[in-house]
Amino acid sequence: MGKMKGLKCRECGKAYPAEPLHVCEFCFGPLEVDYDYEAIAATISRDRIVAGPKSLWRYIDLLPVEKEATVGLHGGFTPMIRATRLGQVLGLDALYLKNDTVNHPTLSFKDRVVAVALTRAKEFGFDTVACASTGNLANSVAAHAAQAGFKCFVFIPSDLESAKVLGNLIYHPTVVAVEGTYDDVNRLCSEISGEYRWAFVNINIRPYYAEGSKTLAYETAEQLGWRAPDQVVVPIASGSLLTKIWKGLKEFERVGLITGVKTKVNGAQAAGCSPVATAFAEGRDFIKPVKPKTLAKSLAIGNPADGFYALKTARETGGVIEMVTDDEIVAGIHLLAQTEGVFAETAGGVTIAVLKKLVAQGAIARRDLTVAYITGHGLKTQEAVAGTLGEAVYIEPSLDKFQRRFRLKET
Ligand SMILES: *Cc1c(COP(=O)(O)O)cnc(C)c1O
């Protein structure tokens, strides 16, 4: 084992041991996991992956753990759906949806990052796990902590959707609802993490946590028949997922599993919280923090930790970062459900609405092999669509009443 070399500063390149560290002492840049790619290339193969577990752990050779997986054994390996009907509506011949609405156990892409983070937290010997969350991360940390026997604190903004609050409480963690935005929650958690020896999955063990997102890229390439897509559309909260999808595709190329990666990495934000899309539109290379005001609460990070890197990735790959209004988000949720039978949360609505916009702008062409990432389940954000739905038709239990009500003829 030991394919992980250690951590490395993304800015100055200084190397660190694979410890619970996340910022460079010299330049304050973020730390990232570094691997011995030659050693990985020598042993990894398509056959070896295919023979592995039907979970994200089939890619363990490229994940930052020292021994075997111990937490989140059933996460990942979600369906890749050929979206023919949605493609017809949008004008795309080869559209696929990566459906993380059915991820195990908490119905969002966060089950990937948490499986990796908590497996690593066990290796470090932590007994308490915690997170600052916009909702889905808290649900996933709470569920995995219950299963793995960690003590657990989750910190959320106090205005979260009710299903996301309930989706924490059911696992019996300590739920701390902070009166403020996610950015306030995150700042508070940074202070708390300096006081106690807890594994804050997205603070002190963030480098390991973030690597879990790469499995979405690995699965994409494998499920498309060992090739990279031409275009991907990825929702942005902190920006980590977008950068890791790109890192994952490049790593697969580097270790010889796929060739010719020319994927354009596109990002999607809500207009009510669009610090990265706005910087993209204005041609800036720095992010101006904003105060979020959008239905898409899972993406409502006003000061995104990886915003700068997400911007850079989109620009370098020829992608675009776009934003859509709350009305467009709701329309995106409806369109996806009506054409593909997939009920996504607000982040999925953001992705679909941005996809539509990019096709209309000509940034994505009809023949492009395109993957849209649907990262969370709609039952978690029912408030977003309440009031936009039709109503059930109530009838008495009689055939006659039924036929009359719908003006159907007797046969
Ligand atoms: C957290 C989250 C994202 C994006 O996460 P990043 O912070 O950008 O890595 C996307 N969709 C959903 C549903 C999420 O919960």
Mean pLDDT within 103-132: 98
Atom of ligand 1 lying closest to residue 244 CA: 9
Torsion of CA 168, 171, 173, 178, to 10 degrees: 10
Ligand 1 centroid to Cα of residue 17, in Å, is: 28
Q: Is residue 173 a contact partner of residue 130, using CB atoms and an 8 Å limit? A: no
272-289 burial, b for 16+ CB within 10 Å, e for fewer? bbbbbbbbbeeeeeebee
Alpha helices (H) along 7-126: 37-43, 46-50, 84-90, 110-124
Q: What are the residues whose beta carbons fall under 8 Å from the beta carbon of 191, sequence distance 6 or more?
A: none
Atom of ligand 1 lying closest to residue 236 CA: 8
CA distance 155 to 130: 8
Which helix (H) or strand (E) element contains residue 163? helix 162-169
Pocket around ligand 1 at a 6 A CB cut-off: 108-110, 136, 235-241, 298, 345, 347, 375-376
Ligand 1 centroid to Cα of residue 42, in Å, is: 33
- Confidence tier at 83 by pLDDT (50, 70, 90): very high
pTM for this predicted structure: 0.97
Q: How many CA atoms lie within 13 A of 111 on its CB side?
A: 25
Q: Is residue 374 a contact partner of residue 100, using CB atoms and an 8 Å limit? A: yes
* Mean pLDDT of the residues in the chain: 97
Residue type, 120: R
Q: Show the domains of the chain with their CATH numbers.
A: 80-106+210-384 (3.40.50.1100)
313: closest CA among 7, 10, 8? Answer: 10
Atom of ligand 1 lying closest to residue 345 CA: 13
Report the share of the chain in percent with pLDDT over 70. 99
Residue nearest to atom 10 of ligand 1 (CA): 235
- Give the model's pLDDT for residue 2: 55
pLDDT tens figures, 199-225: 999 999 999 999 999 999 999 999 999
Q: Is residue 129 a contact partner of residue 143, using CB atoms and an 8 Å limit? A: no
pLDDT tens figures, 222-263: 999 999 999 999 999 999 999 999 999 999 999 999 999 999
Ligand 1 centroid to Cα of residue 217, in Å, is: 15
pLDDT tens figures, 337-379: 999 999 999 999 999 999 999 999 999 999 999 999 999 999 9
